[in-house]
Amino acid sequence: MAEHNKKMISRVLIIGLLALIGTNLATYYLTAGQVGQSAQDEPTVIKYEPARRDADAELMVVQEALHTITEYYFSPVEKEELVEGALRGMIDSIGDPQVRFFNPEELEEFMTDTEGSYSGIGVRIVESNGRIVVFEVFPDSPAQRSGINPGDFLLEADGNELTDQGVSRAVELLRGPSSVPVEVLIKRPGADEPIKLNVDRAEIKVATVFSEMLDDGLGYIRISSFDSNTAGEFSSQFREMEKRGLGVGLILDLRNNPGGLVDQAVEIAKLLVPEGEIVRLVGKDGEVHNTYYSSAAKKPYPIVVLINEDSASSSELLAGALQDRGAALLVGKTTYGKASVQQLANLTGGSGILLTIARYFTPSGHDIHEHGIEPDFEVEMPEILLYYNYFFPGSLEEGDYGFEVETLQLMLDQIGFPVEASGYFDLSTGIALTNFQIASGLPGTGKFDDLTWVELREALDLAARDNDEQLSYALELIRKPGLWTITGGLD
């Protein structure tokens, strides 16, 4: 099948996930307060100054419309719903996808996401065909201790049905006061009957930084997003790596990082970017409102940053600073291109607007908005290895057709069971799937089911690491003679 169709499939998968998990989706929130303040200042919000009465004439038509609808419309309507609809209409008319309106419940959820902690059971969930699926179980969480696994289907929470109720409803029921248990009913792939578990809720700190030593002196750090705990997590793990002899090099993985809090990216940049400028914020008047600087010494080892098409916002800020200042080489694909900065405005009644108030520019003055950051070394990677975790199709069998079938075919091909990615579940697809099932110790039914997905996901976990061409290229660069000259900007 055509390459653009493959890209469409993977893009649908990643966008679908980001729209569902409700974590770090709209955290492009400037915690430095009003533009021009230091990143260490207390967070503030935009304040509304009431207009003079003679300037309110343009609002009369809104008031008249509200009165006319509530008084004369045939069916009863709630005034609060009309007002919220009007506010959302204003936001939509701006045409900026980063500007968002939050009703009180949505605002509370948004603030919880940016804080990086909440009281719950410690899972990340998605919705697939109406079913609530456990996408990730956080380490050392109540969910992990209770035996909940990725791929489990959540059927009920405290007796409340979760299927076809949406992710927001599931989140509402799973979260609650610490130490207060929630009874969940799960359906495990391969199990005949549902399983009932009592899970104690606890304060959950969402990890966004993951690190390991790949070799003596060679470190790897992945940042999944930027919330209020990210800089602290990074600093702690990075300092520990340096104590263990981080002398060969560092690989910083920002792939699939949608961004987050600007101040967190700035604080991490202060550890890695040599003394000088990190980023500048420019307002609508074109004037530079603030510039952030680093005072760090240049690292005595090379740094390579991994980026791709879904590296956005604060991750682009960090990557751009490292590239412009000659502190790192970038490997992968051109980034998303989101360089606008949003700030929260609280409204009367507990609602709020996330409003674009500035745009950031890299130290060289590069405007990456809608353009992205180009890597120093462009390296392709099979997109199925980046997005396979977002695949929850349910059952598939011979005769089915669509992008879910094509995605399954791409997965099978990637792990050594070749089949044409036609999008049609034909006889050859059934044979390839049967061979995979038998090799995995499953009954060779030739039908894709939940248990087959568990085994396929495990196989792809291994393939994603073993066949990570971008990571392999980064490792080659670090060990390549002459890298120091390249990173110093002399090549």
Residues designated catalytic: 313, 324, 338
* 159 CB-contact burial (10 Å; exposed 0-12 / middle 13-18 / buried 19+): exposed
Residue that has been written with the tokens 């997005």 in this structure = 387
- Cα separation of the two ends of the chain: 40
Burial (Cβ within 10 Å: 0-12, 13-18, ≥19) of residue 160: middle
Q: Retrieve residue 152's tokens.
A: 């489990």
